[in-house]
């Protein structure tokens, strides 16, 4: 017995793995699978496409460009950067109920928030409430790291510095009087952003944490005074600030400004005349940018976008067409081959 | 040397019988040889010129070894410069070192080696770029982590390899041997042996170095060695000590006093040559190869032998013969490198384009955007320049960092599968197949030419007495004792003969019956002849007889006689004792007319106990028939039997006898004695004398010996031929033997026209002449497709000897030609286009090309009588001019060179010799495993590797080019399209496992079908599965997928908002969507490409996707953010983004568009233009069922051999027998009497030299 073992000491193991005989499924792209598969996928895609297309059609969107490029625009007077604290009013008319909840966005175009060096110009340690980085912001923030007096800028960096600072008020005009539409600014940012990602330093009052620092040069007031109405909405967890800091992927983007879901407007904006009061601060014309206000409601799939529905329809139809083509080709080439 | 050098300078026809020993011969040596031979030939007795020849060449100090004097070899004059002014003795120690690293040098050396690889260096450069703050676009860890992993894995693999080498070296270096130190023999390790040491070796010891045999326990200081490690031949060779050392150096104290000075040639690799002189006690003695015992041999049948170490360690002939260990790379490796360079060029182009884009963008838009102000006053072109480097970093993943390491892993896996393959495991010797190199596997699927050794590779080097014809009757087929033919016989039972060799098998019971009945006088004479007429030596060991034959053929014949009751018992110098059935008889041997390759026969003249004198002769049918007496009977029947044997590719010998009267013998004997002492051309004189007696012979019959093929050789060769692989046999054997084997293993068939050296040479000369005359008449035209050499359309085969090879390829002729030209005065212009000599290197090269072209037109090529060097040369010729992938297979040290030269070297393991295996890339025990290695493992490896590479390139293109598309929308700012951690982990975790598994496990068809349809091997040879076309297809596929993966989300994100009104169009959500789409696309694409779905594959694909989501959710989680707030910036993105159904719909659409067109195209392509593989694959189930049925029906059927035309199947021993040794009595020297006068002159010379020293 021992001798036998010795004689086959070098014998490889006879297992399915070592002998490369693992049980396996060897699928083939055979006509029986591919052609019906394409038909099925095509039909499914068409179904999704129709659903998307129908849904997106039902979504109402209202866009108002208030950059003030054209002379006719009410905001033309504000487009001159020398004017300070300019306020302009845009009037619009809804001829039917704008179903709620209505979302209020501001939009910028030709604005490169996705520019790499702009994007990295922030201090995440600082934003997560690390006081060391209040005194010494990261070098990524240059040139918005220290001011001329070598005082650290908090929040530092280009993104924070360029925060969007136009403000809006919406009025419904009922019989010549302006009835303010309540705008809800809570929960417009991701929950994770103001609960996890960004934290204020645990110093009370918050103001003391900012001792020895300066506010960004473009900011009219320091970070701890961003929202005078709600003390919890200040510092780095201010929702407007968070929305701005979450940079857009593409040069044309919208950012959520407010929600309209309260009081009389919980069901949406009734038909009628409205006036939008804009505090025009943010310069965009120097780089050929545009500013917009967008009112939109949403569906299960989000906002209005016809692209996806159409794309699904096109691809679905192509699948069906291709399955027919494949069937023809298969019928033509298959039979002589089998012989 | 016992064999005369071919006289090639005079005549143009090389001698087919001898090997052209050209290895390592320099032109100078050729000249010397020329001089020496003419000296010896004409005036061997003339005293040497007054000054010793050593001093004639003062530039060369020669190789001087002093016995028992270690300090002597450390003298400054024997030092050579190693490095700057550090000098070292020329005499290397006996330790061998094959390892590369030790504990200290491992890290630096290994890193250095690894950074020699362009890819690793590239990533190091990237890492440095990433540290520069102005340029860095990706964090440093995106490159560092993969680089460290890659370097680490490679380093571990190198370490394991090197440890194995350390172990091997240690084992060999620590072998023990007795060395004479301080006056007595002490057991010493091999590594401590030094040049000039006297060593003592025992029976069955390996010889530790190249050693001059001084004395042994056998009479005349004879010593038997087995040279299997050197040349694969298992028959023993004998070595002899000089007479003087034999007489005076038997005792330990004598040996301790030994202080000779050896002056010999420098270390070289010629196994067949050694020249030197020994100066001892003021006398000079010539030394030659017969005195040398080479490292690697084994001592046999000699209890104790003493020797003097001449060459040690790396200077030994066997080590020198190793040739350079070439670093072998596969064609795919080369191609892969070129592709990496292509990608690199592409990368630079793209980065440059984007950099220009950035310059313009900044000029037009960026400089006006106040929010982008960065405080740096840089011009837009400088920003463009920085952006260039930034993009080099961002797009670096186009060059897949993990490519090389993944390829290594796959190859390692393939090698393991080869090692594990039970069907390549040889149970008899317990030898599994072994992939010794792990870097060449896919090359196994591309072999076009196989160069095979014969002895030990195709054949077992076992000769078996198979059949015979005795006086009109043929024996050998299975029969009963009554002579009834059977289909399947039992082997004969030899128990009646207690001296029989149990291993000997014979099927014909009738022959035994005939012999035992003692009636058939011819049959008795037949076996008596076999037991008497040979040069075999016998040894009695434990009551058993062991025959030592110069050739296995002789051994087989004598063994046959032994089993049939004619047992050769012993021999003395002039008697032979045999047992004839029950009676012991001693015959007086009057003369032994030894075999040589010209005579093709051997005879023995014996005086019988009753006083009769009889000559027994055995030899080739052609030479024997010429010398038969007109009265001889059985001529026709024997001839018929010979034809039959030849058709069965048996090796035949005719046996005959002749009675000689005393007077006749006396007369002849006188002439014989005269001839024996002739000084000039003794061999010719002897041949002439032999001729006189070997006539009027009476034929008895003929023997047929089977040179046993390895199992399954003909079938393997036939299968490989169907796979489009050409097989060349390169052997040191003789032409007849090689041709015989060619037929036996179905390499040659009857419908082939065989071309020999003369024919080939003629055709080549004509071709050369045509080319010359063309060059005269017209300007050298552009390359025309070469016309075929063989226009008759039939199959052709080439059999060419080493001599002809030299002749045809003009090897080693430059010097002679130069000399001749010098003699003629000046270089003559070529006036005669028929002049066969080349006029310049170009012609030489053209001639080589012509030869290779011609040989490749043939179905089979057999090169015989070739030296190891020539074997290698033939291989490299084909490699060079055909650009083909070559494989060499062999088992002996003489194959080492060709094994190392070929793209892939295969060694036959499990035998005594290890040299071939040690230098091989793959080793297994049987030639027949080659078909499994190539057609199954090679094919799979190739397909897997190609699939892997195609997919790998695709995967990284589709991954990286997103950044390119994104740059158009991000101001060309080298903004990346994903999270940086995704970039770091993509190749490591998210996408490699499934493709790696495809590279390891994929099978389009199983092994049985691979073997059944050898034509499935063709795509590998034609390199169809991975080439530039495939590469660009992968590139475009990658571009397409990246385009989809970027632009579908782009369209979806352009204007939208989430379900809850929050805008999802932020950069981080976008990055997660593209990354998720990519992961799905890539993993599903590899699923589509997987032909062989095991649960592991399934697990890997699902696992990769799961791992992706797992890691993404982890990296985006709160916990990791609290720990490293600035390292992980995507906090909460995955959970926020991926709960939007809209984004999932985007991902589904993206994946769908990426995959569906590919499926469609693949389907159409396979339907319209199906490849062989597709067809087999489609009918896989049917074929598998067929195979199963086939297996059930029949096991293996006997291989059919057709009728063949008559050819001489004569074949006999490789070398002349031991006749000299046996017959020359006391002085068993080759040329005993020639020394007389010469020694005086040597003494004179030696005195002079002694004074000089």
Q: Please give the positions of B annotated as active site.
A: 453
User: What's the rounded Cα separation, in Å, for the pair A51 and A283?
Assistant: 41
Q: For residue B75, with 0-12 CB atoms within 10 Å meaning exposed, 13-18 middle and 19 or more buried, which class applies?
A: exposed
User: What's the rounded Cα separation, in Å, for the pair B1251 and B1253?
Assistant: 5
Structure pTM? 0.83
Q: Which helix (H) or strand (E) holds B916?
A: helix B915-918
Distances (CA, A) of B54 to B265, B274, B279: 10, 15, 13
Task: Quickly count: other Cβ atoms within 10 Å of residue B104's Cβ.
Answer: 8
Share of chain A above pLDDT 90, in %: 31
Q: Which residues in chain A have their CB less than 8 angstroms from residue B430's CB?
A: 7-11
C-alpha torsion sign, points A211, A212, A216, A220: positive
Q: Decide: B940 and B922 in contact? Cβ < 8 Å.
A: no
Distances (CA, A) of B252 to B180, B183, B207, B248, B300: 8, 8, 19, 11, 22
Displacement of CA B249 from its chain's centroid (Å): 42
| Residue in B878, B708, B704 with CA at minimum distance from that of residue B798 | B878
Q: Do residue A105 and residue B1063 have CB atoms under 8 angstroms apart?
A: yes
Give the pLDDT score at B1111.
94
> Residue B401: is its pLDDT beyond 80?
no
Q: Which residue has the higher pLDDT, A250 or B817?
A: A250
Give the pLDDT score at B1197.
45
> Residue B1: is its pLDDT beyond 50?
no
Give the pLDDT score at B247.
82
Question: What is the distance in angstroms between the Cα of B503 and the nearest Cα belonging to chain A?
Answer: 21
User: What's the rounded Cα separation, in Å, for the pair B90 and B176?
Assistant: 24
Question: For an interface test with B, which of A23, A26, A319 has the most B Cβ atoms less than 10 Å from its Cβ?
Answer: A26
pLDDT digits (tens, 9 = 90+) for A206-249: 888 888 889 998 888 888 888 888 888 888 999 999 999 998 99
Q: Which residues in chain B have their CB less than 8 angstroms from residue A248's CB?
A: 1063, 1065-1067
- CB contact B1173 to A (< 8 Å): no
Residue-wise burial string across B500-523, b where 16 or more C-beta atoms lie within 10 A, e elsewhere: bbeebebbbbbbbbbbeeeebebb
Question: What is the residue extent of each domain of chain A?
Answer: 33-59+300-324, 65-97+112-247+271-291
B817: helix, coil or strand?
helix
Q: For residue B21, with 0-12 CB atoms within 10 Å meaning exposed, 13-18 middle and 19 or more buried, which class applies?
A: buried
> Residue A310: is its pLDDT beyond 80?
yes
Q: B16-20, B356-360, B530-534, B958-962: which range is least confident on average? A: B16-20
The mean pLDDT value of chain B amounts to: 80
Q: Which residue has the tokens 């041709």?
A: B739
User: What's the rounded Cα separation, in Å, for the pair B423 and B930?
Assistant: 11
Range B347-360 average pLDDT = 94
Q: Which residues in chain B have their CB less than 8 angstroms from residue A143's CB?
A: 373-376
Residue-wise burial string across B1090-1118, b where 16 or more C-beta atoms lie within 10 A, e elsewhere: bbbbbebbbebbebbbebbeebbeebbbe
Q: Decide: B95 and B189 in contact? Cβ < 8 Å.
A: no
Question: For an interface test with B, which of A52, A128, A293, A302 has the most B Cβ atoms less than 10 Å from its Cβ?
Answer: A302
Distances (CA, A) of A9 to A4, B275, B910: 8, 46, 14
pLDDT digits (tens, 9 = 90+) for B569-597: 888 777 888 888 888 888 988 888 877 76
User: What's the rounded Cα separation, in Å, for the pair B1250 and B1227?
Assistant: 28
Q: Which helix (H) or strand (E) holds B228?
A: helix B228-231
pLDDT digits (tens, 9 = 90+) for B1150-1196: 999 999 999 999 999 988 888 888 888 888 888 888 888 888 876 54
Q: Which residues in chain A have their CB less than 8 angstroms from residue B390's CB?
A: 116
Give the pLDDT score at B1233.
36
User: What's the rounded Cα separation, in Å, for the pair B286 and B54?
Assistant: 13
Q: Is the peptide bond before A101 cis (omega within 30 degrees of 0)?
A: yes
User: What's the rounded Cα separation, in Å, for the pair B684 and B981?
Assistant: 86
Q: Do residue B1153 and residue A315 have CB atoms under 8 angstroms apart?
A: yes
Interface of B with A in 370-389 (CB under 8 A): 370-376
Structure confidence at residue B1221 as a pLDDT band (50, 70, 90): low
End-to-end CA distance of chain A: 55
The shortest CB-CB distance from A14 to any of B365, B422, B1146 is to: B422
Question: What is the distance in angstroms between the Cα of B1003 and the nearest Cα belonging to chain A?
Answer: 9
pLDDT digits (tens, 9 = 90+) for B466-507: 888 888 888 888 877 776 777 667 788 888 888 888 788 888
Name the token pair of B462. 């076992």
The mean pLDDT value of chain A amounts to: 87
> Residue B257: is its pLDDT beyond 90?
no
Structure confidence at residue B736 as a pLDDT band (50, 70, 90): confident
Give the pLDDT score at B321.
66
Q: Do residue B1142 and residue A48 have CB atoms under 8 angstroms apart?
A: no
**Overall residue count recorded for chain A in this entry:** 339
pLDDT digits (tens, 9 = 90+) for B926-973: 899 999 999 999 999 999 999 999 999 999 999 999 999 999 999 898
| Residue in B969, B1063, B257 with CA at minimum distance from that of residue A193 | B1063
Displacement of CA B1155 from its chain's centroid (Å): 46
Q: Which letter does DSSP use for residue B397 in this model?
A: G
pLDDT digits (tens, 9 = 90+) for B283-305: 888 888 888 888 888 887 788 88
- Please list, in sequence order, all residues whose beta carbon lies within 8 angstroms of the beta carbon of residue B638, skipping any fewer than 6 positions away: B469, B472, B654, B699, B701, B702
Give the pLDDT score at B1196.
47
User: What's the rounded Cα separation, in Å, for the pair B17 and B596?
Assistant: 10
Q: A17-21, B209-213, B353-357, B912-916: which range is least confident on average? A: B912-916
Q: Do residue B1125 and residue A308 have CB atoms under 8 angstroms apart?
A: no
pLDDT digits (tens, 9 = 90+) for B319-341: 776 655 667 788 888 888 888 88
User: What's the rounded Cα separation, in Å, for the pair B401 and B211?
Assistant: 52
The strand pair at B752-755 and B795-801 is best described as parallel
Q: What Rg value do the Cα atoms of chain B yield, rounded? A: 37
Q: Which residue has the higher pLDDT, B655 or B821?
A: B655
| Neighbouring-strand partners of residue B197 | none
Share of chain A above pLDDT 70, in %: 96
| Residue in B252, B250, B302, B310 with CA at minimum distance from that of residue B277 | B310
pLDDT digits (tens, 9 = 90+) for B37-56: 333 333 333 344 444 333 33
User: What's the rounded Cα separation, in Å, for the pair B89 and B92?
Assistant: 7
- CB contact B61 to A (< 8 Å): no
> Residue A174: is its pLDDT beyond 60?
yes
User: What's the rounded Cα separation, in Å, for the pair B109 and B114?
Assistant: 8
Name the token pair of B177. 């041997």
> Residue B180: is its pLDDT beyond 70?
yes
User: What's the rounded Cα separation, in Å, for the pair B500 and A18?
Assistant: 45
Structure confidence at residue B254 as a pLDDT band (50, 70, 90): confident
Strand order in the sheet with A61-65: A61-65, A290-296, A102-109, A253-260
Range B77-97 average pLDDT = 75
Q: Is the peptide bond before B129 cis (omega within 30 degrees of 0)?
A: no
* Helix then strand then coil, % of chain B, to nearest 5: 50, 15, 35
Closest residue in A to B1133 (Cα) is A192
Name the token pair of B418. 């080869």
Give the pLDDT score at A163.
92
> Residue A81: is its pLDDT beyond 60?
yes
| Residue in B1182, B957, B998 with CA at minimum distance from that of residue B1096 | B998
User: What's the rounded Cα separation, in Å, for the pair B941 and B1093?
Assistant: 17
User: What's the rounded Cα separation, in Å, for the pair B606 and B568?
Assistant: 15
User: What's the rounded Cα separation, in Å, for the pair A196 and A183?
Assistant: 25
B571: helix, coil or strand?
strand
Strand order in the sheet with A167-174: A86-94, A272-280, A167-174, A177-180
| Neighbouring-strand partners of residue B261 | B66, B279
Give the pLDDT score at B1131.
87
Range B1024-1039 average pLDDT = 93
Give the pLDDT score at B933.
93
């Amino acid at each position: 017995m021992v001798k036998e073992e010795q004689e086959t000491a070098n014998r490889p193991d006879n297992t399915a793995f070592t002998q490369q005989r693992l049980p396996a499924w060897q699928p083939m792209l055979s006509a029986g699978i591919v052609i019906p598969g394409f038909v099925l996928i095509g039909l499914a895609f068409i179904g999704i496409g129709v659903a998307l297309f129908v849904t997106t059609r039902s979504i109402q969107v209202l866009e108002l460009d208030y950059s003030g490029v054209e002379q006719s625009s009410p905001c033309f007077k504000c487009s001159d950067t020398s004017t300070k604290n300019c306020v302009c009013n845009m009037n619009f008319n809804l001829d039917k109920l704008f179903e709620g909840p209505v979302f209020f966005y501001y939009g910028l175009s030709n604005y490169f928030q996705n520019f790499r060096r702009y994007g990295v110009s922030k201090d995440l340690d600082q934003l997560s409430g690390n006081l060391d980085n209040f005194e010494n912001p990261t070098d990524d923030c240059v040139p918005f790291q220290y001011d001329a007096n070598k005082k650290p800028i908090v929040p530092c960096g280009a993104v924070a510095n360029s925060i969007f600072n136009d403000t809006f008020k919406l009025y419904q005009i009922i019989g010549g009087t302006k009835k303010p539409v309540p705008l809800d600014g809570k929960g417009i940012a991701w929950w994770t952003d103001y609960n996890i990602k960004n934290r204020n330093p645990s110093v009370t009052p918050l103001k003391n944490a900012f001792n020895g620092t300066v506010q960004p040069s473009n900011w009219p007031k320091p970070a701890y005074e961003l929202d005078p109405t709600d003390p919890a909405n200040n510092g780095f967890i201010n929702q407007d600030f968070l929305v701005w800091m979450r940079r857009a992927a593409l040069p044309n983007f919208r950012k959520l400004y407010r929600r309209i879901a309260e009081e009389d407007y919980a069901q949406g904006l009734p038909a009628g005349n409205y006036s939008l009061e804009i505090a025009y601060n943010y310069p965009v014309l120097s780089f050929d940018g545009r500013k917009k206000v967008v009112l939109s409601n949403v569906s299960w799939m989000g906002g209005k976008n016809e692209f996806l529905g159409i794309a699904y329809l096109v691809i679905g139809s192509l699948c069906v067409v291709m399955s027919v083509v494949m069937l023809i080709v298969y019928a033509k080439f298959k039979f002589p081959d089998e012989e | 040397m016992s064999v005369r050098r071919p006289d090639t300078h005079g005549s143009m026809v090389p001698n087919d019988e001898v090997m052209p020993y050209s290895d390592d011969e320099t032109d100078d040596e050729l000249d010397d040889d020329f001089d020496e031979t003419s000296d010896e030939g004409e005036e061997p007795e003339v005293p040497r010129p007054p000054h010793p020849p050593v001093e004639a060449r003062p530039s060369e100090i020669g190789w001087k070894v002093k016995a028992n004097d270690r300090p002597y070899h450390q003298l400054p004059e024997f030092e050579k410069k190693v490095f700057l002014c550090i000098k070292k003795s020329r005499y290397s120690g006996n330790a061998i070192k094959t390892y590369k690293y030790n504990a200290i040098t491992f890290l630096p050396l290994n890193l250095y080696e690894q950074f020699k690889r362009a890819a690793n260096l590239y990533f190091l450069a990237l890492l440095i770029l990433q540290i520069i703050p102005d340029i860095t676009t990706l964090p440093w860890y995106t490159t560092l982590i993969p680089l460290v992993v890659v370097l680490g894995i490679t380093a571990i693999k190198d370490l394991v390899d090197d440890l194995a080498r350390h172990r091997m070296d240690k084992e060999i270096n620590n072998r023990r041997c007795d060395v004479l130190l301080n006056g007595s023999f002490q057991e010493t390790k091999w590594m401590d042996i030094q040049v000039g040491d006297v060593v003592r070796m025992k029976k069955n010891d390996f010889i530790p170095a190249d050693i001059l045999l001084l004395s042994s326990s056998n009479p005349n200081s004879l010593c038997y060695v087995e040279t299997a490690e050197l040349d694969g031949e298992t028959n023993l060779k004998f070595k002899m000590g000089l007479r003087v050392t034999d007489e005076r150096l038997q005792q330990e104290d004598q040996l301790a006093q030994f202080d000779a000075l050896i002056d010999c040639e420098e270390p070289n690799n010629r196994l067949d040559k050694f020249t030197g002189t020994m100066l001892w006690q003021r006398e000079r003695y010539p030394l030659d190869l017969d005195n040398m015992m080479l490292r690697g041999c084994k001592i046999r049948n000699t209890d104790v032998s003493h020797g003097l170490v001449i060459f040690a360690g790396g200077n030994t002939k066997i080590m020198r013969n190793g040739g350079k260990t070439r670093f072998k790379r596969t064609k795919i490796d080369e191609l892969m490198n070129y592709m990496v360079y292509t990608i690199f060029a592409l990368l630079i182009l793209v980065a440059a384009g984007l950099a220009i884009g950035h310059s313009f963008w900044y000029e037009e838009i960026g400089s006006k955007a106040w929010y982008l102000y960065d405080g740096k006053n840089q011009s837009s072109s400088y920003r463009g320049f920085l952006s260039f480097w930034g993009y080099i970093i961002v797009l670096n993943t186009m060059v897949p960092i993990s490519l090389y390491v993944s390829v290594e892993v796959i190859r390692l896996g393939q090698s393991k599968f080869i090692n594990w393959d039970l069907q390549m495991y040889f149970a008899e010797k317990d030898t599994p197949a072994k992939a010794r190199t792990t870097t060449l596997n896919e090359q196994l699927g591309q072999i076009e030419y196989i160069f095979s050794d014969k002895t030990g590779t195709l054949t077992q080097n076992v000769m078996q007495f198979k059949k015979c014809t005795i006086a009109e009757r043929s024996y050998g087929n299975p029969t009963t004792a009554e002579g009834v033919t059977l289909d399947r016989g039992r082997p004969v039972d030899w128990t009646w003969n207690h001296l029989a060799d149990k291993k000997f098998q014979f099927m014909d019971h009738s022959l035994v019956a005939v012999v035992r009945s003692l009636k058939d006088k011819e049959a008795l004479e037949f076996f008596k002849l076999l037991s008497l007429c040979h040069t075999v030596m016998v040894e009695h060991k434990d009551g058993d007889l062991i025959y030592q034959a110069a050739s296995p053929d002789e051994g087989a014949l004598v063994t046959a006689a032994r089993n049939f009751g004619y047992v050769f018992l012993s021999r003395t110098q002039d008697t032979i004792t045999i047992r004839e059935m029950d009676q012991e008889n001693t015959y007086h041997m009057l003369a032994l007319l030894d075999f040589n390759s010209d005579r093709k026969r051997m005879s023995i003249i014996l005086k019988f106990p009753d006083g009769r004198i009889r000559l027994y002769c055995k030899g080739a049918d052609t030479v024997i028939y010429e010398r038969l007496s007109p009265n001889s009977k059985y001529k026709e029947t024997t001839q018929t039997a010979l034809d039959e044997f030849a058709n069965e590719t048996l090796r035949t010998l005719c046996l005959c006898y002749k009675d000689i009267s005393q007077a006749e013998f006396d007369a002849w004997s006188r002439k014989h004695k005269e001839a024996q002492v002739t000084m000039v051309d003794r061999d010719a004189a002897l041949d002439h004398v032999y001729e006189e007696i070997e006539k009027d012979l009476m034929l008895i019959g003929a023997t047929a010996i089977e040179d046993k093929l390895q199992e399954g050789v003909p079938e393997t060769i036939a299968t490989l031929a169907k796979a489009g692989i050409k097989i060349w046999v390169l052997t040191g054997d003789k032409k007849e033997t090689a041709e015989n084997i060619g037929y036996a293993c179905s390499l040659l068939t009857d419908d082939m026209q065989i071309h020999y050296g003369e024919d080939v040479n003629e055709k080549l000369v004509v071709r050369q002449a045509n080319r010359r005359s063309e060059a005269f008449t017209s300007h050298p035209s552009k390359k025309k497709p070469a016309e075929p050499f063989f226009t008759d359309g039939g199959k052709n085969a080439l059999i060419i000897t080493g001599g002809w090879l030299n002749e045809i390829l003009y090897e080693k002729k430059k010097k002679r030609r130069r000399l001749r030209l010098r003699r003629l005065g000046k270089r003559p212009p070529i006036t005669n286009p028929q002049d066969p000599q080349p006029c310049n290197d170009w012609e030489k090269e053209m001639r080589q090309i012509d030869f290779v072209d011609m040989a490749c037109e043939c179905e089979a090529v057999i090169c015989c009588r070739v030296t190891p060097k020539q074997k290698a040369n033939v291989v490299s010729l084909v490699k060079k001019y055909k650009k083909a992938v070559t494989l060499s297979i062999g088992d002996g040290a003489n194959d080492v060179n060709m094994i190392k030269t070929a793209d892939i070297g295969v060694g036959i393991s499990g035998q005594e010799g290890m040299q071939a295996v040690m230098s091989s890339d793959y080793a297994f025990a049987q030639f027949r495993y080659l078909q499994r290695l190539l057609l199954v493992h090679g094919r799979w490896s190739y397909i897997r590797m190609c699939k892997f590479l195609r997919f790998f390139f695709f995967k990284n293109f589709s991954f990286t080019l997103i950044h390119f598309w994104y740059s158009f929308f991000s101001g060309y700012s080298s903004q990346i399209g994903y999270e940086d951690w995704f970039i770091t982990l993509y190749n490591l975790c998210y996408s490699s496992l499934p493709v790696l598994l495809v590279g390891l496990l994929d099978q389009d068809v199983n092994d049985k079908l691979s073997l059944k349809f050898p034509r499935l091997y063709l795509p590998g040879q034609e390199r169809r599965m991975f080439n530039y076309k495939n590469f660009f297809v992968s590139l475009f596929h990658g571009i397409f997928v990246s385009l989809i993966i970027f632009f579908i989300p782009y369209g979806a994100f352009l204007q939208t908002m989430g379900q809850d009104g929050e805008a999802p169009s932020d950069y981080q959500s976008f990055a997660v969507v593209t990354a998720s789409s990519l992961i799905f696309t890539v993993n599903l694409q590899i699923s589509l490409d997987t032909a062989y779905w095991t649960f592991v594959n399934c697990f890997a694909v699902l696992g990769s996707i799961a791992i992706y989501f797992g890691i993404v959710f982890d990296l985006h989680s709160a916990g990791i953010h609290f720990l490293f707030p600035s390292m992980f910036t995507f906090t909460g993105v995955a959970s926020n983004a991926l709960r939007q159904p809209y984004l999932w719909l985007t991902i589904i659409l993206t994946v769908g568009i990426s995959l569906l067109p590919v499926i469609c195209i693949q389907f159409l392509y396979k339907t319209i233009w199906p490849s062989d593989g597709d067809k087999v694959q489609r009918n896989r189930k049917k074929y598998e069922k067929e195979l199963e049925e086939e297996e059930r029906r029949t096991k293996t059927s006997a291989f059919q051999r057709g009728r063949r035309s008559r050819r001489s199947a004569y074949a006999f021993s490789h070398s002349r027998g031991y006749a000299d040794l046996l017959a020359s009595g006391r002085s068993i020297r080759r040329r005993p009497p020639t020394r007389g006068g010469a020694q005086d002159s040597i003494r004179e010379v030696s005195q002079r030299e002694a004074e000089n020293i």
